[in-house]
Amino acid sequence: MTTPKFTQIKQFIFQQIESGNWAEHQRVPSENELAEQFDVSRMTARRALQELTDEGVLNRSKGSGTFVSSFKSQSSLLEIRNIAEEVTEAGHHYSARLISIEKLSADAAIAIELDIAAGDNAYFSKILHMQDDQPIQLEQRYVNAALVPDYINQDFSVITPHEYLSKEAPLTEATHQIEAVLSEATISALLAIKGEQPCLQVKRRTWSSQGVVSLAILTSPGDKYRLGGHLKF
What is the DSSP code string of the chain?
-PPPHHHHHHHHHHHHHHTTSS-TTPBPPPHHHHHHHHT--HHHHHHHHHHHHHTTSEEEETTTEEEE--HHHHHTTS----HHHHHHHTT--EEEEEEEEEEEE--HHHHHHHT--TT-EEEEEEEEEEETTEEEEEEEEEEETTT-TTGGG--TTTS-HHHHHHHHS---EEEEEEEEEEPPHHHHHHTT--SS-EEEEEEEEEEETTEEEEEEEEEEETTT---------
- Average per-residue pLDDT in the chain? 85
> Taking residues 95-99, what's their average pLDDT?
95
| Per-residue pLDDT tens over the stretch 29-87 | 999 999 999 999 999 999 999 888 877 788 887 778 899 886 543 333 445 678 888 78
In this prediction, residues 107-119 reach a mean pLDDT of 90
> What domains can you pick out in the chain, each with its CATH number?
5-69 (1.10.10.10), 74-221 (3.40.1410.10)
Taking only the tens place, the pLDDT of each residue in 139-181 is 999 999 999 999 999 999 999 999 999 999 988 788 888 888 8
pTM above threshold 0.85: no
**Per-residue model confidence (pLDDT) at position 77:** 41
What integer pLDDT is reported at residue 56 of this predicted model? 75
